[in-house]
Amino acid sequence: MTAPTHAGLLPAGSTAGVRLAAIRDAFEGLIAGGLVEQNPAVGVRLGRLTATFRPCPLTPQEAQRLLVGGRLFATDTLRPAGVALALGGATHAEVAGTAIADFDADGRCVTLATGTPAQRTVDLEAPAVSALAARADAQRRAWRRRRLSWVPESVPLAMHRPVCAYRADSIAPTVSMNLSRAMKCAGITRAGVRPKSCREYAANAVYAMTGRVEDVARSLGIGSLDVAYRLLDWEWQRRCAGADGLGDERLG
């Protein structure tokens, strides 16, 4: 659980938690199959890990490639929808909790963290709008096929089932797995890149356009300017700001 990441760094607490949840689930499967009698991971508690945090945001080119190529098969709408939300700055929990009703195709925007102090509306680029619109249509067809009541406020936009149907400790691992698979399909294997690189991309894209940490915090629903500042990668700003329109407002 505390093994180094691919970048050679100690894992963040959230990463260690995902690993522990996966181990617990694996043992539950072994118990169900009669191969073992007890789950040794049930009583394991993680202490506070001190990780050397260093953001590794996607580049604009990688973000575009992920939106287009991050699907497991031709009709896959789940992975592109999750990618669109993550690139808009959504946390894993926000990706899981966003419902069909939160997406406004005509307004080209999505509301994240609805009903919480972090609620905000994020504008979307055309590829993200297309990805979320395709997912909304696919969910509508799936609900009709399964003869379920269509309630847009509870039908998930980037999950198979409503978030309440998942175990609390499986939500973040599920979203992380979906984003990881999308990255693999898109051929994004650069050292240091991981699912949260999508959110870090969003932070750096906002800063490239406005030059204000306050705007980064507001766009990502972060209450601390220090936390928002830590998401910024100055090498990324030097190399990527201005690419595909990023930073044009700030640079004049």
- Concatenating the DSSP letter of every residue in 179-220 gives HHHHHHHTT---TT--TTHHHHHHHHHHHHHH--HHHHHHHH
Whether 142 and 87 map to the same domain: the answer is yes
Q: What is the pLDDT of residue 52?
A: 63
Whether 161 and 179 map to the same domain: the answer is yes
Whether 93 and 211 map to the same domain: the answer is yes
User: Which backbone phi and psi does 109 adopt, to 5 degrees?
Assistant: -155, 165
The Cα 162–Cα 160 span in angstroms is: 7
Ramachandran bin of 34, using left for φ above 0, alpha for ψ from -120 to 50, beta for the remaining angles: left
The two structure tokens encoding residue 18? 């995902």
Whether 135 and 224 map to the same domain: the answer is yes
The two structure tokens encoding residue 91? 């946390």
pLDDT in tens, the chain (252 residues): 556 655 555 566 666 777 777 788 788 888 888 888 888 887 787 765 455 678 999 999 999 999 999 999 999 999 999 999 999 999 999 999 999 999 999 999 999 999 999 999 999 999 999 999 999 999 999 999 999 999 999 999 999 998 889 999 999 999 999 999 999 999 999 999 999 999 999 999 999 999 999 999 999 999 999 999 999 999 999 999 876 556 543 433
Global pTM reads 0.78
Last residue of a domain, one of 35, 53, 71: 53
Whether 16 and 84 map to the same domain: the answer is no
Q: What is the pLDDT of residue 251?
A: 35
Number of domains in the chain: 2
Domain housing 44: 1-53
The Cα 165–Cα 11 span in angstroms is: 28
Whether 139 and 235 map to the same domain: the answer is yes
The Cα 233–Cα 11 span in angstroms is: 19
Whether 136 and 168 map to the same domain: the answer is yes
Helix (H, G, I), strand (E, B) or coil at 121: strand
Q: What is the pLDDT of residue 190?
A: 94
Helix (H, G, I), strand (E, B) or coil at 37: coil
Whether 117 and 21 map to the same domain: the answer is no
Q: What is the pLDDT of residue 249?
A: 39
Which helix (H) or strand (E) segment is 104 a member of?
strand 103-104
Residue 182, domain CATH: 1.10.443.10
Q: What is the pLDDT of residue 23?
A: 84
The two structure tokens encoding residue 96? 């899981």
